Structure 1
Amino acid sequence: MPHALITGGSRRLGLYLTEHLLAEGWHITVLSRSSSPELDRLSSDRLKLVTLDYYQLDEVKAFCQQCADQPLDLLIHNASLFVNDGNTGSSELFSQLFHVHMQLPALLNTELAAALARSDNGNIIHMTDIYAENPNADYALYCATKAGLENLSKSFAKRLAPAVRVNSIQPGALKFLPDHSAASKVQVLKDSLLPHEAGFEPIFQTVQYLLANTFVTGTAIKVDGGRSISRN
């Protein structure tokens, strides 16, 4: 059975991907800072939760060493911090965003490259953002580090080819948070060419495409309902 590692797999998109890959027979390791009631309900002998502090690089390296001898078929970098920086330019916030969006993925890619190369179809997928190319000024630090992750994706595609394929998915507004106001929902949908709340299924479909198409690497796929060309 294939094995996937998903960071931030206990909530929202990461949870959705975990649940649906499990349903397709995958073994899943979720790397997260904490569990969630929803993840706990997915109890399965093919699901392993590893909780650790993303900011402790020694912990991350120790985890990688434990699983380096086994083939790894898919690594999905889903862990993310979506934070309004309030025009403060906070060095602490910037450090956190840099770590989660860039340093952690770069470390995992490097430490697990050999395990991914043992797979017959080793893949890395970085979840970036359409804001990586057209940033939102209120989320400047978030956008900058997501742009950095996009660049890392291309660099690792070059570094790990041909043994491992590396791509990114750039989501737009897929599923509203509970605290989204009715007015903000209307505005988001107004800025999309396909004005409906799509949910997470389009991302899972894109993951399936990237796994199936063995001649795709170093690319970024927008899954945003046209929002990236519609919004100013």
Structure 2
Amino acid sequence: MKTAVITGTSRRLGAYLAEQLTQAGYRVIGLTRQQNPAQPFSQIELDYQRSDSVLEAAAQLKQQLGQLDLLVHNASLFEKDQQHQQDPAAFYQALFAVHMQLPALLNQQLLPLLQASGAGNIVHITDIYADNPNPAFALYCSTKAGLENLMKSAAKAYAPLVRVNSIQPGPIQFLPEHSSEEKQQVMQQTLIATEAGFEPILKGVRFLVDNPFVTGLSLKIDGGRALGK
């Protein structure tokens, strides 16, 4: 049985990926800030902001697993800079912790398990904003760009036993707080003007896992929004 570790599995994309991979026969372990007993996969609770908590979770995984086939860095914090004008430094540190420190530590700590698989894969879920930043989310975009660069460095360092790639999502599924005007503006900038849901990202993960000659790739799954109209 193949094993996958996914961060940020409490809701939305992370929960969807974990549930779908579980149904596909994977043993899935979710790393989450808050466990959900209703979810059909194992979970380890940790504090993304504390390096000691991340290292403790990695130690638990190394005790439980003999090998690891897939590591997906999905955990994310997506908020506008203006929401944190009172303490932008603390906000930036939080973004750095979840988007860069967490993946970097897990990559380093779990590398022996990925190598033991013989065909280990790491997938970084970044953002099309990593290449074309949105000024309203400047701090978010900069740390997602760091996650993108971390992917490229890891692809070089871990080849050939472990392949490392990224997926750059576009407007796959709006948040509840998105207004009708915001949704319309996004769709007007997207070549395939559809709210596609999470399935295209799952298909992207499967492509990266199934193709043994792909590493260091940034895969845009965005309906063409990165190109605009």
Match of 1:211 in 2: 209
Q: In 1, are the aligned partners of 2:46 and 2:54 still within 8 Å (CA)? A: yes
What are the equivalent positions in structure 2 for 1:60-209 lying under 5 Å apart?
A: 60-68=54-62, 70-86=66-82, 88=85, 90-209=88-207
Match of 2:50 in 1: 56
Letter in 1 for 2:195: E
Report the alpha carbon displacement of residue 161 of structure 1 after superposing the two structures with TM.
0.7
Report the alpha carbon displacement of residue 147 of structure 1 after superposing the two structures with TM.
0.2
Which 10-residue stretch deviates more, 47-56 or 24-33?
A: 47-56
Match of 2:39 in 1: 42
What is the TM-score with the length of structure 2 in the denominator? 0.95
1:29 aligned to 2:29?
yes
Match of 1:15 in 2: 15
Report the alpha carbon displacement of residue 64 of structure 1 after superposing the two structures with TM.
1.4
Post-superposition Cα deviations, 1:15-50, rounded to whole Å, max 9, x if no partner, equal 1101110110100000000034xxx3333xxx2111
Post-superposition Cα deviations, 1:112-138, rounded to whole Å, max 9, x if no partner, equal 000000013200000000000000000
Residue 182 of structure 2 aligns to a residue whose secondary structure is helix
Report the alpha carbon displacement of residue 188 of structure 1 after superposing the two structures with TM.
0.9
Letter in 1 for 2:130: A
Post-superposition Cα deviations, 1:51-72, rounded to whole Å, max 9, x if no partner, equal 1111221122122123225200
Residue 112 of structure 2 aligns to a residue whose secondary structure is helix
Residue 117 of structure 2 aligns to a residue whose secondary structure is coil
Report the alpha carbon displacement of residue 93 of structure 1 after superposing the two structures with TM.
0.6
1:90 & 1:10 partners in 2: Cα distance? 26
Please list every run of 5 or more consecutive structure 2 residues that lacks an aligned counterpart in the other structure: none
Residue 151 of structure 1 aligns to a residue whose secondary structure is helix
Report the alpha carbon displacement of residue 209 of structure 1 after superposing the two structures with TM.
0.4
Letter in 2 for 1:35: Q
What is the TM-score with the length of structure 1 in the denominator? 0.94
Q: In 1, are the aligned partners of 2:118 and 2:162 still within 8 Å (CA)? A: no
1:177 & 1:132 partners in 2: Cα distance? 19
In the TM superposition, structure 1's runs of 4+ consecutive aligned residues that sit over 3 Å from their partners are none
Which 10-residue stretch deviates more, 76-85 or 179-188?
A: 179-188
1:150 & 1:100 partners in 2: Cα distance? 13
RMSD of aligned alpha carbons: 1.3
Residue 58 of structure 1 aligns to a residue whose secondary structure is helix
Letter in 1 for 2:75: A
Post-superposition Cα deviations, 1:138-167, rounded to whole Å, max 9, x if no partner, equal 000000000000000000001111110000
2:56 & 2:159 partners in 1: Cα distance? 25
1:105 & 1:13 partners in 2: Cα distance? 17
Report the alpha carbon displacement of residue 181 of structure 1 after superposing the two structures with TM.
1.4
Number of residues paired by the alignment?
Answer: 225
